[in-house]
Every structure is written in C-alpha cells, then in structure tokens.
Amino acid sequence: MQGFLLSATVYLAAAVVAVPIAKRFGLGSVLGYLIAGVVIGPSVLGFVGAERQDVMHAAEFGVVMMLFVIGLELEPALLWRLRGALLGLGGLQVLGTTVAAGGIAMALGLPWSQALAVGLILALSSTAIVLQTLQEKGWMKTDAGQKSFAVLLFQDLAVIPILAVLPLLAVTPDLALAPAAADHASGASWAEHLPGWQRALVTLGAVALLVGVGRSLVPALFRVIARARLRETFTAAALLLVIGIAVLMQLVGLSPALGTFLGGVVLATSEFRHELESDIEPFKGLLLGLFFIAVGASIDFLLIGAQFLVVAGLVAGLLAVKALVLWLLARGARMSHDQGLLFALALAQGGEFCFVLLSFAEQNAVLPSAVGKLLVAAVALSMAATPLLLLFWERVIAPRATSEPGAEREMDTPEEEHAVIIVGFGDFGSSVGRLLNASGVETTVLELDSDRVEVLRRLGLRVYYGDGAREDVMRSAGAERAKLVILCLGDAEANLELARSIRKHFPQLTILARAAGRLAAYELIESGVTHVYRESIDSAMRLGVDALRLLGRRGHAAWRAAQHFRRRDEENMRRLAAVFRDRATHLSLAREAIADLEASMRADGVSGAASDDTAWDAESLRREFGG
C-alpha cells in the first residue's frame, strides 16, 4: 500500500506541476503530461520504474472512457453521415501507410513478413493524443477534425484483423502458439478458438445485446437510480456501464474502445446523456493524463542515446511517410490546403495500440526484440512530437494558410442539438449568443466566414462553419427539433432569403431576424417573420436618452419618452409594411404616422420636461412593463 500511495503521489504531483506550466506557455495539456512523464521517468529523475508499465495498462482505460464520451456526443444519424470518410479515408490510410512503410522496411533489409508486420503496426495513430488535442483546441468540428476522427475509428476496427494476421507472419510458424501468445489470446477472448462462423455469430450477438440493452434496459435502470437522488450511485452506475461494455467486448474478441464508443452512440439520444458525460468526464481526464505520463516515462533514452541516428531516422521517416500518405488522401478528398495539413500532421504519429501490437509481434516471433525496442522508442517519440507539430500548424501554418481559388470548404457537421440556432456570428450575432450562453441557454451557431470561425474557436467559442440557407446544413444543426432560429446576417438580402428558406422547410421554427433598416424590416415582415429587430433602433434610443439627460431631463422621464417612441414606431412600422411597395400610399401613411407619433407623445405627457414628473408612477410602470 505504501508503494502504491508513493507512486500515486509522484504521478499526481507531476501532473499538477507540469500541465499548468505547459498550458501557460501554450503547449497544451498533452505535451505537459508527456514532459512530466519524461522528467519523473528512469532516464531523468528516476522517481518511477518498472511499475510504469502497469500504470500504462490501467491508464489505457482512459482511451476507452474517452471514446464512450465521444459516442455520447454523436447521434447514429451523424455517424452514418461519416461512413464515407470512415471506410474510404480510413481504409485507404491503413492500406497506403502499410504499403509505404512496409516497402521502406524491405528496402532496409527486413524480410517481407517482418516488413508487412511493421507496416501494419505503424499504420495506426494515437487516438488518445489526437482526439484530446483536437477537442482542447476546438478543432473537432473542422473538416480535418471530422475526417481525423473517422480515420481513427477505422484504425480501432483494424486492430482486430491485425491481431489475427500477425501470428501468421511468424518467422517460425510453431512459435505462433507460444505460451505467451496463448495467454494473451485467452486473456483477451473466450471466443478466440471458436470456428469462424461461430465467432461471427457471437460478435453479432454481443453487438445486438449492447444495442438492445442500451435502448431499453439502461435508460429504465438510470430512471430508477435517478429517483433515489444519490449522485454517487449514479456515478457508480455510469462507471459500471462503461466497464461492463468493455469486458463484454473483450470477451468476444472486439476492441473495448470500439465497444464503448458504440455504447455511447446508442445512448446519445437518451435523456441521461449529459449526466453520464459529466460523471465520466473526470475519470476520463485523469486516466488519460496518467496514460500520457506513462508514455513519457516509457521513452528509453539510453537506447536513444546509444543509437541516436537510427532512432532519429525512424521517427523522421515515420512522421514523413504517414504525413505524405495522409496529405495525398486529403487532396483526393478535396480538403483545403490548411485543413489537409492539419489532417496530415494530426495523424502522422504512431499510436498507443502500436505498443500492444509490437509486444504481441515479439511474443509471436514475428519481429526480433532489437527491432521491436527501436520501434517502441520511435513510436513514443513520434507521439511526443505530435503536440509540437500541431502547435506549429496553429502558430505558423494556420495564420498564413489560404484555400486555393475556387475551392469550397466542406461544411462542418454539428454534433449536438439545442433549442436555439443562431445563423451569423458577427458583432451582432455574437452579442446575442454570448447573452444567451451566459444566461444558461445553449445554442448551435452557424457562421459562413471560415476565417471568423477559426478566430472565434481560438477564443473558446463553439462555432460551426455552415451555410444556414442550405436545408441539409440546417437539418444537421437540429432545425427539425429546435424551437427558435435567430438570423443575424449583416447582408439584408441574404437574411431575407434565409428567412424564406427556413419558413419553407422548417415552418414550426419561430424566427427572430435582424434587420439592417426599415426597408429590410418591411421585407422580413412581408415574408411572414413576426419577430423583427432593427439593429439601429436600440442604439438610437440609448443615444436619444443620453441627449435628453444632458439637456436636463430627468433620467426616468427620458427613458419613458424613448420607450413610448419605440413602441409607437414599431406599431407604425408593421402597419406601413403592408403598403411599402405602393410608394404613394406608403409616403402618405408615413407622414400621418410621424404626426400621430408626435401628437401621441404630447398627449401622454412624455415629450416635455414636466417639472412635477419627479418619480416613477404605478400606472406608467404597469404600462411600460406590461403589468
């Protein structure tokens, strides 16, 4: 117990010290954890030793929890829309990297079987580092973020067949059934030795059980637990759910991470989605942090120092080959230059599953121990380099990147739905959005200016690149189930066309629309929009109130005059909207409206500076505030 507590103290202290420092210098939490691991590892201070491998095995459960949380944020419909990138880009990335890396390995003198094993293993990227960094930077909703996620998901799927293929590449076939490998297999799956068709049935049955239980039994169970009003019981149930799914998937030979991701997707439409996410999030963050520290501590600097040029060449070669394959795929998928570079740099490293597969390959006599150790060092260093590469993209490439002429950036796909959708997030829209968010109202924001989207994301705001005039974009933003849509575009014609499109495709939505001026307001009212807001009226009233006060009018009297003027002006505007296309009639009625407004203000006693008007009166308060 004393040894456990000491190790826990060392790991937690390293995280608490290193991560804030790394964040302070803009390096991100992942790089902070990795640096902390290097410092406390055997190669520097030596605070941790052999137990770091056990810590890594436990901390790998953080990846499982991370995919569960990501699954909670994805609805099945959105996952279905990603199928093209998942199967197309993901499959081509694994195939292309395997061929390229395997070919280079053969050129360096490895037999074809070992070269193929190296290619398959190095094709995988780090789910933990990539997704954590993309989420932290707010890039998950970008084109590169969505496609990176799809490729990583395919790689998790690919781990299963790779584990099946590796023993077949053994130098000595009899060693494919070595005790260590057999132990690994038996520990992973009791279905390992079943005939192929039986294993397929068991796998499909496990997935069907997961979907069925997730749809029916789990929500009912959480309703019962929620009625008990014990937060710790709900948290325990959430952890039990994740662990139970992971164990079930492992028993049938599937990836626990993939299984928990599927479980999260099944529960994405559950009313307990947000509670599950908030309960799992702290455990996920802590375990992922421990995982990154363990990766940093596992880097063998003695080996690196003894064979520095070899390891450096392997790291550079791995990053360059994978980045090149990913860049070519990005160009084929018509991603913009900046998004293509982000996609390539984000996935260029080796992954956490590489450590598992390299160990498995050594146990099955597929790779010599010397080759395995070199590749472990190269993979670990490539993972450590990834936050630096993404920092380089953010600080150097992104500010200078411009899409090629004629290229159209792919619209983002919102991953959540809210009751309010805001279209346009300039100065006007961002003020509305920040007021709603500060008031506890979550919104889905669409903005068509890609440069502004990137700036807003760097400020920590959740904004999606999307055209609200497109029906498919609005549907992906949840317009079919939303309550309000707020139109804040600065272009009056674009705002009007957007309002007409929304009334046509989503008639149940209540539209609140910005109007640049009176004419724009007339057109919006004519199109059927009942909630129209002229962008200048509030500023004009505020200025008028200040002017009256500076001229000696009491503050409350000036405010009442402005409110009366505004209310009557709004009434006149809606009446005039019905005839604004008939110029003669409109001008005649407009003159009458101006005269009526002035007469109304004089009759109500709000146009002059009455000396006895010294306080708020009950009747005025009721009238002004609708009481």
Which has more confidence, 550 or 455? 550
Which whole-number Å values give the CA distances from 419 to 14, 77, 443, 505, in the listed order?
42, 18, 7, 17
Lowest mean pLDDT among 141-150, 354-363, 585-594: 354-363
Partners of residue 532 on adjacent β-strands: 513
Q: Of 208-222, 381-395, 419-433, 512-526, where does mean pLDDT reach its minimum?
A: 208-222
Residue 184 has pLDDT above 70, yes or no: no
Three-class DSSP labels, 589-622: HHHHHHHHHHHHHHHCCCCCCCCCCCCCCHHHHH
For residue 147 the two structure tokens come to 């496609």
What single letter denotes the amino acid at residue 63?
Answer: V
Alpha-carbon gap, residue 27 to 36, rounded angstroms? 13
548, part of any domain: yes
Q: Which residues contact 193 (CB under 8 A, 6 or more apart)?
A: none
Confidence of residue 596 (pLDDT cuts 50, 70, 90): confident
Q: Where residue 351 sits, what CATH number does that domain have?
A: 1.20.1530.20
Note whether residue 531 is domain-resident: yes
In a domain, 350, yes or no: yes
Supply the CATH number for residue 470's domain. 3.40.50.720
Q: Are residues 65 and 163 in the same domain?
A: yes
Segment 110-169, tens digit of pLDDT: 999 999 999 999 999 988 788 878 877 778 777 888 889 889 888 877 876 787 688 788
- Most confident segment among 44-53, 77-86, 188-197, 279-288: 279-288
Burial class (CB in 10 A: 0-12, 13-18, 19+), 98: buried
451 and 343 co-located in one domain: no
Distance CA 192, CA 326 (A): 33
Does residue 360 surpass a pLDDT of 50? Answer: yes
The answer to whether position 515 is within a domain reads: yes
How much of the chain exceeds pLDDT 70, in percent? 83
CA distance 225 to 275: 12
Rg for the chain (alpha carbons), in Å? 31
Has residue 179 got a pLDDT over 60? no
Tell me the pLDDT tens digit for each residue of 196-244. 667 677 777 877 888 788 777 887 888 888 777 777 787 788 888 888 8
Residue 2, pLDDT > 70, answer no
Q: Are strands 510-515 and 484-487 parallel, antiparallel or unpaired?
A: parallel
User: Which DSSP string do the residues of 165-217 spell out, in sequence order?
Assistant: HGGGG-SSGGGGG-HHHHHHHHHHBTTTTS-HHHHHHHHHHHHHHHHHHHHTH
Same-domain status, 299 and 435: no
Report the C-alpha gap between 231 and 222 in whole angstroms. 11
Q: Are residues 382 and 463 in the same domain?
A: no
Asked if residue 406 is part of any domain, the answer here is: no
Instruction: Determine how many CB atoms are found less than 10 A away from the CB of residue 139.
Output: 23
Q: Do 138 and 197 lie in a common domain?
A: yes
Number of domains in the chain: 3
What percentage of the chain exceeds 90 in pLDDT? 11
pLDDT of residue 93: 92
Sign of CA dihedral 422, 425, 428, 433: positive
Residue 576 has pLDDT above 80, yes or no: yes
Examine the pLDDT at 617 and tell me if it is beyond 50: no
Residue 339: CA count within 13 A, CB half-sphere = 30
Mean pLDDT of the chain: 78
pLDDT at 463: 86
Q: Are residues 82 and 123 in the same domain?
A: yes
Confidence of residue 613 (pLDDT cuts 50, 70, 90): very low
83, part of any domain: yes
Residue 29 CA to residue 192 CA, distance in Å, equals 38
Instruction: Give the model's pLDDT for residue 94.
Output: 92
pLDDT at 407: 45
- Per-residue pLDDT averaged across 188-200, rounded? 63
Range of the domain at 443: 411-535
Residues 424 and 541 in one domain: no
Task: State the pTM of this model.
Answer: 0.55
Quote the CA–CA distance of 174 and 574 in Å, as a whole number. 87
* Range of weakest confidence among 184-188, 241-245, 248-252: 184-188
pLDDT band, residue 324 (cuts 50/70/90): very high
> Is residue 13 predicted with pLDDT exceeding 80?
yes
